[in-house]
Amino acid sequence: MGKWLSALKWLVVAVVLAVFIGLLVKWNRKGGISVEAGFDDRIELTSQEIRRIEQIGQWEFLSVQSEVVADTLREGFFTDDRLVAVYTGVPRIGIDMNRVTGEWAQAHGDTVTLRLPAVHLLDKDFIDEARTKVFYESGKWSNDVRRDLYDRAYVKMLRQCLTPSNMRRAEANARNQFTALFRALGFHTVEIYFIR
């Protein structure tokens, strides 16, 4: 009989607790009780972290292997002289973190807003002159003519590499890498704007 009374007491306690918990849940749904976890979802972005990112300097997001042919022709009385050269280069597109201005990274809760300079050509000396090959040469050519040939190859390579689609690809890579970096710092949402 004692075991039966003991079991009955525990059953009554369990029923009372279940009813009490059920009432609390129902009351909470109606707005009577509000339970808040003492968690602050704001993430602090320290000036040290900002400086470390700025110290990256030039951040390359796309490099384009390129090869162009440039030639020149000099008409002569009996024969024509011709110079043909193949130029190789790697224009690199990215962001120079030294160009960021003001408060380029601002945190609001779990969101960070970045205002970055537009992607651009990082290094103007992208033609590898050591790899330049003279494909064909007849006659004698001055350094000025060779320099002019180099300049024309330079412009041609720029046109070939700095296309709108390559700039979009570099920008997309920048978005992906900055998003990954700031998510690793704890931000859920990363908003990126490129200042042109």
In this predicted structure, which of 66-70, 98-102, 169-173 has the lowest mean pLDDT? Answer: 98-102
Say what the pLDDT of residue 61 is: 96
Say what the pLDDT of residue 162 is: 95
Say what the pLDDT of residue 73 is: 82
Dump pLDDT digits (tens) for 71-86: 888 776 777 788 999 9
Residue 37 above 90 pLDDT?
Answer: no
Alpha carbon distance 161, 155 (integer Å): 10
Q: Using 50, 70 and 90 to split pLDDT, how confident is the model at 125?
A: very high
Dump pLDDT digits (tens) for 138-160: 878 888 988 999 999 999 999 99
C-alpha 88: how far from its chain's center? 26
Contact 157, 149 (CB under 8 A): no
Q: Average of pLDDT values for 17-28?
A: 51
Report DSSP letters for 49-98, one per residue: HHHHHHTT-EEEEEE--EEEEEEEEE--SS--EEEEEEEEE--EEEEEGG
